[in-house]
Amino acid sequence: MSFNIDGFFSPDMEQFRAAVTSQGPAKVWFDCAHELSRFALAMVAGLDMPPLADIQHFTLAALFIRAHQSTQAALILAERGMIGDARTVLRSASEGVIAMYGLAADPGFIDQVVYDYQLNQQKLARVVLDEPAFRKSYSPAEIAQMEATCREVAALRANIDETKRRKAIIWDQIAAKHCPDLYTLIYRPLSMDGTHTNMDAINRHVQTDKSGRVVGLKGGPDAEGIQEVLKFATLVLLWALVAMSRAFPKEVREDCIQGFFERFNALPGSAA
């Protein structure tokens, strides 16, 4: 009953975590994911961190660290049966891995990332500046900073030839060019009930009987879907490691990555 009082902070959650990580098909998936996570940490520790002047490799390393942290976050959420939240984190991580592939193939992709960021900063500022109800919630100093941001971005765009101006990043286009399988097999499925609010997301909290009749709502830890989350988490990190091996071929051993792919393919449900 303690879950009804404390939710996922309940002491009973430790019992759930211990059960799902130590028995059944999920155990071997957790074991593989944790071992892969340790391998990735060791790889980062042994990496000669590129200088800031080498913006391509420096950014790639930063994106990999972010992807690794997100996969660890997803494992923590999965251990507690927070399946929808784990999928949301992994969807975000997969977008970062798509960026890794774009950057590994094209050093100039970082300019597009920066440009996209500047455009979004300008858009966010304009939302506040153009709406009096929002504007009055900010201090004069904050308003001045937003106005300066709009001027700076406008000046940057004015100095770029119209034919060379970059557009906002559309991730499916980046993925189609550099890693179409990643987009189709990971990014899109994780978007369905992760980022977007749709029937899949709603049904995750609907309780049905054996006949499929709706009998109520449900919260709390969910053991269903854990194995799929672990599958996605493992794949996201493996894809990130492959991108790193392309950018750091001397430091990131492809044979070790291939070994994990082979282990992945031997796990129960890997082909499902």
Contact indicator for 237, 182 with CB cutoff of 8 Å: no
Which residues, 6+ apart, have CB-to-CB distance to 132 below 8 Å?
none
pLDDT of residue 139 exceeding 70 = yes
pLDDT of residue 127 exceeding 60 = yes
Does any domain span residue 149? no
Does any domain span residue 19? yes
What share of the chain in percent tops pLDDT 90? 65
pLDDT of residue 160 exceeding 80 = no
Q: What's the confidence (pLDDT) of residue 168?
A: 75
Query: What's the Cα-to-Cα distance from 74 to each of 83, 109, 182, rounded to whole Å?
Result: 9, 28, 18
Does any domain span residue 230? yes
- Domain enclosing residue 187, as ranges: 2-107+178-266
Which residues, 6+ apart, have CB-to-CB distance to 131 below 8 Å?
none
The C-alpha atoms of residue 196 and residue 127 are separated, in whole angstroms, by: 22
Coil, helix or strand at residue 250: coil
Structure tokens at 179: 């890693």
Does any domain span residue 31? yes
pLDDT of residue 183 exceeding 90 = yes
pLDDT in tens, 76-110: 999 999 999 999 999 999 999 999 999 999 998 99
Contact indicator for 135, 128 with CB cutoff of 8 Å: yes
Q: What's the confidence (pLDDT) of residue 161?
A: 59
Place of tokens 């609907």: 206
Does any domain span residue 152? no
Residues 51-70 as b/e (b if ≥16 CB within 10 A, e otherwise) read eeeeebbebbbebbbbbbeb
Which residues, 6+ apart, have CB-to-CB distance to 93 below 8 Å?
66, 67, 70, 71, 74, 236, 240
What radius of gyration do the chain's Cα atoms show?
Answer: 22
In sequence order, what DSSP letters do the residues of 224-260 get, joined into one string?
TTHHHHHHHHHHHHHHHHHHHHHH-TTTS-HHHHHHH
Coil, helix or strand at residue 67: helix
Q: Which range among 9-13, 85-89, 174-178, 195-199 shows the weakest confidence by mean pLDDT?
A: 195-199
Does any domain span residue 143? no
206: enclosing H helix or E strand: strand 206-208
pLDDT in tens, 162-182: 554 566 788 999 999 999 999
Coil, helix or strand at residue 207: strand
Mean per-residue pLDDT over the chain, rounded: 90
> Is pTM beyond 0.85 here?
yes
pLDDT in tens, 21-57: 998 889 999 999 999 999 999 988 888 888 888 999 9
Q: What's the confidence (pLDDT) of residue 203?
A: 87
The C-alpha atoms of residue 130 and residue 150 are separated, in whole angstroms, by: 12
What share of the chain in percent tops pLDDT 70? 96
pLDDT of residue 14 exceeding 90 = yes
Does any domain span residue 260? yes
The C-alpha atoms of residue 122 and residue 130 are separated, in whole angstroms, by: 12
The mean per-residue pLDDT over the stretch 214-222 comes to 91
Contact indicator for 226, 26 with CB cutoff of 8 Å: yes
Does any domain span residue 271? no
**What's the domain count of the chain?**
1
